[in-house]
Amino acid sequence: MDPLRTLWETFFDWESMREALPEMLTVGLPNTLILAVTAALLGSALGIVLAVAGISRTRWLRWPARVWTDVFRGLPAAATILLIGVGLAPLGMQVWGPNPYPLGILALSLIASAYIGEIFRSGIQSVEATQLEAARALGFTWGEAMRRVIIPQGIRRILPAWVNQLIALIKDSSLVYFLGLLASQRELFRIGQDYAANTGNQSALLLAGLFYLALTVPLTHVVNWIDRRLRHGRPATGDDPDDLDLALPGAAGGNQR
């Protein structure tokens, strides 16, 4: 048989793709999004805590934050997911039964928190010290000054980096398949891989890849767009909300579904 044709059919067998498509749409895509978005929210909440601890004057907050960041940023994602997902499984079994999801999300959140914490920290530190001084001079406590004045400004500056982290999470969520998922829990990659393993044809996996691209490529363009807008400023609209009115942990700017 023509080797080129074989190669083509290995990746672009429409029939295999069509077969896998419904499950990808109804099972894989929602699961991938649940994993990535939940981990992004949890990771951002933890990340803010880490960032604030990381710039604290107390070394008892600073050092643990440092170690946490180094560990979860330094370990391969696969190792963290296995260590947490398998290592804590007996504990998880007692709390929520034989469901690998919570531990998978926890592991992804821990990884994300390390990166997001560093992003937030740099954002907070990029806000001029005089802003803190001005807020304190008005009578705001340190915490309120951070919350109302410093963090809202820092967040804006790190939005592009934060969206990049979301992209990384979407991709890393595929690693949760290590933990052994029920059929209904499979995310995009696992479904593609299952079809590929059953048929010996890679087309379903390629389809999964296309799904990932459909999620991540638009996000990279969102990053670029935000970046441009931050660089060139935006026209004053008068009535836009002044601070994002952040509840302290979480909600880092419009990522709610």
Residues that bind another protein (CB under 8 A): 130-131, 133-141, 144, 148-149, 152-153, 156, 233, 236, 238-239, 242-243
Report the C-alpha gap between 117 and 114 in whole angstroms.
Answer: 5
Report the C-alpha gap between 215 and 186 in whole angstroms.
Answer: 17
What single-letter amino acid sits at 86?
Answer: V
User: Is the separation of the CB atoms in 249 and 49 below 8 Å?
Assistant: yes
Which lies closer to another protein via its Cβ, residue 153 or residue 255?
153
Report the C-alpha gap between 176 and 107 in whole angstroms.
Answer: 9
Contacts of 135 (CB under 8 A, 6+ apart): 144, 145, 148, 149, 150
In the bound complex, what is the minimum distance in angstroms from residue 236's beta carbon to another protein? 5
In the bound complex, what is the minimum distance in angstroms from residue 130's beta carbon to another protein? 5
Report the C-alpha gap between 242 and 104 in whole angstroms.
Answer: 36
In the bound complex, what is the minimum distance in angstroms from residue 15's beta carbon to another protein? 54
Which lies closer to another protein via its Cβ, residue 15 or residue 144?
144
Helix (H, G, I), strand (E, B) or coil at 246: coil
In the bound complex, what is the minimum distance in angstroms from residue 16's beta carbon to another protein? 51
Please give the C-alpha separations between residue 203 and each of 72, 147, 193, 214, in angstroms, as whole numbers: 34, 49, 10, 16
Which lies closer to another protein via its Cβ, residue 3 or residue 139?
139
Quick one: tokens of 66? Answer: 């440092």
Residues 128, 133, 135, 136: is their CA dihedral positive or negative? positive
- Cα angle 235, 238, 241 (rounded to 5 degrees) comes to 100
In the bound complex, what is the minimum distance in angstroms from residue 160's beta carbon to another protein? 17
In the bound complex, what is the minimum distance in angstroms from residue 17's beta carbon to another protein? 47
In the bound complex, what is the minimum distance in angstroms from residue 243's beta carbon to another protein? 6
Which lies closer to another protein via its Cβ, residue 75 or residue 244?
244
Report the C-alpha gap between 232 and 227 in whole angstroms.
Answer: 9
Which lies closer to another protein via its Cβ, residue 14 or residue 142?
142
Which lies closer to another protein via its Cβ, residue 158 or residue 175?
158
Which lies closer to another protein via its Cβ, residue 4 or residue 236?
236
Helix (H, G, I), strand (E, B) or coil at 172: helix
